[in-house]
Amino acid sequence: MTDKIKSYNQCHQYNQFCEKCELGWCYWFSCRKSPLCADDCKAFNSFSEVRKHRDENAEIFPKVVEFYEFLQGISVPERFTLKHKPKLSAKKAFTIIYTLQEHLHILPDCFEKCEGCDMLFDSEREGLMLDDQYELNGKTLPKKYWGNWCDSCVPNIDFAVK
């Protein structure tokens, strides 16, 4: 069991034990010590599903950004000849995207608008969501820091999880 724990602790890509083999999937994958094949290992397969889901969202993301910019009148697809282009604020444009995510479930719920730069980002790949679950100097994080932040705009403060 010592080898299992040692290898599990070195696993940075998956941080759970598989229910069947009691090993992290990358332990099985790199050391080939499990009696199970990868197809039977729940840890390996659940991580593969997460990766597949993230890859699908990465393919959708550029189209969502294009739609977001279209709603703001920043760019219009070449084939479109519109008499009246939309000219929404970043906040209103994201409200439409948010509705497509939360209410209509047409878009995945991982695309967020940064509080700092108003650009969209994929929260499964970058960024941070700050709220009352964080502390600053032992007190609840002030509301001015709450929201979704891309990696380049995260406030430069020393906050901690409650």
Note whether residue 113 is domain-resident.
no
Note whether residue 57 is domain-resident.
no
For residue 36, the enclosing domain spans 1-40
Note whether residue 117 is domain-resident.
no
Note whether residue 156 is domain-resident.
yes
pLDDT of residue 14: 42
CA 95 to CA 23: how far, in whole Å?
43
CA distances from 26 to 34, 40, 62 (A): 11, 14, 31
pLDDT tens for each residue of 25-81: 444 444 444 444 444 555 555 555 666 667 788 889 999 999 999 999 998 888 888
Q: For the chain, what is the domain count?
A: 2
Secondary structure of residue 96 in the 3-state scheme? helix
